[in-house]
Amino acid sequence: GTGANGNANPAGLPSQLDRKIIMTATLDLATDAVSKRYEDVGNIASSAGGFIASSTFGSSGDQQTASVTIRVPAASYQQALNDLRKLGDVKGEQSNANDVTEEYTDLQSRLRNLKATEEQYLAFLLKAADITQVLAVQDRLNSTRADIEQVQGRINLVDHQSDLATITVHLSPPFVAKTDQPNKTAKHGPLEVAADSFEASLAVLVGIATVMLAVAAFSWWLVPVLAVAYLIARRQRTPRAAAASDPPSASA
């Protein structure tokens, strides 16, 4: 491959400075001021010589959320990342550097070949003897020019993506694990506490009554047994009492 100055290295590949690298990153930031940090992301992009490519701003319940995608020059990529990390608590970060130098070199080579073919068809077109030859060459020429536009478009895209790094920032409020518990206790006033206490006491009384009913239901067989035992004991006491009341007989 050849650089801008027309010099090729021995390996036929671009030097390290001419390599095409597409850099992307995603940051998940937690912050109490989503709206303010949303603006700060745009200011960081502008300060780095970039711009906001896309953005969304919404809410999750009563809390704000935002996502911002910025494009900054590759030379300012690391500095922009450092500045963005300071906007909140970094909950997650992903980055990728995709080296597309080989693809870019192949695209340039294909583009040169297509342009050479275009020149040949133009020469054939000038030498065409009749309308049939003109139409045949013109058809090939149109197809070649379509291929040139496609390859050139891909080259332009790689140039754009490698010249400008892409950073997406997700902004959300900090997650509080015990959020539900304070809200629940905060709603409990004196009346609610008293009602809860009454319900708890009522539940205990219902439990005691249930146990007593169960005992009464399953202990019915004790009644006749106790009655028989009582009668036997009473009969045994009666002779003893009679014997104790009779006077002792006189001896001869």
Higher-confidence residue of 148 and 228: namely: 148
Residues linked to residue 69 through DSSP beta bridges, in sequence order? 54, 168
Q: pLDDT > 90: what percent of the chain? A: 54
Position of tokens 């010099």? 7
| Whole-angstrom distance, CA of residue 229 vs CA of residue 237 | 12
Report residue 11 as tokens: 């390996």
Mind listing the pLDDT tens digit for each residue in 129-143?
A: 889 989 999 999 999
| Whole-angstrom distance, CA of residue 140 vs CA of residue 66 | 51
* CB 95, CB 87: distance < 8 Å: no
Among 156, 133, 142, 134, smallest CA distance to 20 is for 156
* CB 93, CB 24: distance < 8 Å: no
- Calculate helix-pair angle for 101-127, 131-163, nearest 10 degrees: 160
Please say if the pLDDT value at position 157 is more than 60: yes
Using DSSP's 3-state secondary structure scheme, residue 63 falls into strand
Please state whether the predicted TM-score (pTM) of the whole model is above 0.75.
no
| Whole-angstrom distance, CA of residue 121 vs CA of residue 134 | 10
Q: What are phi and psi of 103, to 5 degrees?
A: -65, -40
Please say if the pLDDT value at position 176 is more than 60: no
For residue 189, what are the contacts with CB-CB under 8 A and spacing of at least 6? none
Mind listing the pLDDT tens digit for each residue in 208-249?
A: 555 565 555 555 555 565 566 666 666 666 555 555 555 554
What pLDDT does 209 receive? 55
* CB 29, CB 81: distance < 8 Å: no
